[in-house]
Structure 1
Amino acid sequence: MSGTILITGCNRGIGLEACAQFAKAGWRVLACCRAPDKAVKLKGLQERFPRIEPLHLDVTNYEQMISLGRALKGEPIDILLNNAAYYGPKGKGFGAVDRGEWRRVLESNTIAPYMLAETFYENVAASEYKIIAFISSKVGSIADNRSGGGYIYRTSKTAVNQVVKSLSIDLSERGISVIAMHPGWVKTDMGGPGALISAEESVKGLKRLLLTEKLTKTGHFYCYDGTEIPW
């Protein structure tokens, strides 16, 4: 069974690979990115899979988000996949945190994904699958933090995990399942060449998790391999 998936951050990395795998499986893919006209790899993918529809969306531009919500009003969206993210400066530990960058990361990784859920939850409720998924990170797990540091990125993912938990409660009456997912340490521009797995392997696991997700699992945090991660 196929359906419609809306994915953010589709110009590269996990988002681009998710577009490829879902489109190959026959899904209609609403592929959002900041500059679709410049997204060469996405445009090439669309030539192979016409069911991919590139859409202009900077997730921190809420006027754009509202406009897109109006354009898609009444259209069922089976899976809303919040993938777009911003890592921020690397290697900045205690005593060297940039407050401005911290705000920018929180805007991209926590506030914007929540606003997407608020904008499109009616579309999701009108679908068959009824899933809102957030790409989080294991570094956002408080229970798993044994190394310290990483204040900016860690806190943005810890915060978005709390968003997931609250949404899973607030949207339960609409039959919507809300989950957080750790994609693994992936060989992307963000993960770097020293990462452990490819984007293809990561998305294969994430896709399997999404398509076997049940409402009873809502409000939980999963690794791409299906194992649960403690908050």
Structure 2
Amino acid sequence: MTQTILVTGANRGIGLEHVRQALAAGQFVIAACRSPEKAGELDQLHQRFPERLRIEQLDTGGAASIAALASRLDGTPIDILINNAGLYGGGWDDSAARQTLAGMDYEQWEEILRVNVIGVFRLTAALLPNLKLSERKLVVMMSSDLGSIANNKQGQSHAYRSSKAALNMLTKGLSVDLREQGVTVMSMAPGWTQTDLGGANAPWPVDESVRRQRAVLAEMTLARGGEFLNLKGETVPW
């Protein structure tokens, strides 16, 4: 049976590439983003794959938006939920200065936590019935190496780092809660990639990062739920 994948933040970067590669592999894709009317590349993909790509509006920071999506998808099995949508808070150079001890933008920090943590939890809860209808039942939390406490040797980016560390805690906790229901939950560190945030000097092209991520996801089993892995399939320390 052909798998159905739901990708949030699907209009650009890693999310868009997950959509592309899933479609190329013959999978059904539900691509969710805040402004579908502005998602030109998604629209082009829909013209190529009208039967296998469904584009949905979703603001992961809004409870009403999440509830509306869950209602529209009622009864639709979802094999893999990729919780990719997230905020750093703006461009690296601009936002990094607003995540320091001396210059923390507290309103921005609250927004980052609302989207990167609370929104992900709310969406996963809302789509749990859809996951349970599927065969694969896999939830992927798109984390970051910056969310590793053990690997934090540079400090800074405190708002973003804390949100991804909290997301990792959700991964572990939900993997325990949902194991008996056959749902696997894991965290993925996609590596420093050539996205708008990562920049052109990042070592991983987006297509290569996603190709490797998909290979890791293909090997995930319920017994490995709760793990934090990188795009090479290696364990990332919490």
The TM-score bracket by the shorter chain reads: over 0.9
Cα distance in structure 2, aligned partners of 1:105 and 1:194: 25
1:116 and 2:123 correspond = yes
Name the aligned partner's letter for residue 113 of structure 2: L
Cα distance in structure 1, aligned partners of 2:191 and 2:154: 17
Equivalent residues in 2 for 1:1-231 (5 A)? 2-50=2-50, 51-88=52-89, 89-92=95-98, 93-231=100-238
Matched-pair contact (CA < 8 Å) for 2:116–2:163: yes
Matched-pair contact (CA < 8 Å) for 2:11–2:39: yes
Give the deviation of 1:94 after TM superposition: 2.0
| TM-score, normalised by the number of residues in structure 1 | 0.97
Matched-pair contact (CA < 8 Å) for 2:96–2:156: no
Off by >4 Å, runs of 4+ in structure 1? none
Q: Per-residue CA shift, 1:7-47, capped at 9, x if unaligned?
A: 00011100000000001111110000011111001111212
Matched-pair contact (CA < 8 Å) for 1:143–1:230: yes
Matched-pair contact (CA < 8 Å) for 2:97–2:103: no
Name the aligned partner's letter for residue 38 of structure 1: K
Name the aligned partner's letter for residue 183 of structure 2: I
Bigger mean CA deviation after superposition, 110-119 or 83-92: 83-92
2:168 aligned counterpart, secondary structure: helix
Unaligned runs of 5+ in 2: 90-94
Cα distance in structure 2, aligned partners of 1:213 and 1:2: 17
Name the aligned partner's letter for residue 53 of structure 1: R
| TM-score, normalised by the number of residues in structure 2 | 0.94
Equivalences, count? 231
Give the deviation of 1:130 after TM superposition: 0.7
Cα distance in structure 1, aligned partners of 2:155 and 2:57: 37
Matched-pair contact (CA < 8 Å) for 2:67–2:126: yes
CA RMSD of aligned residues (A): 1.0
Cα distance in structure 2, aligned partners of 1:100 and 1:66: 24
Give the deviation of 1:2 after TM superposition: 3.1
Unaligned runs of 5+ in 1: none
Q: Per-residue CA shift, 1:47-101, capped at 9, x if unaligned?
A: 2222111101111121121111111112110001000011011234221111111
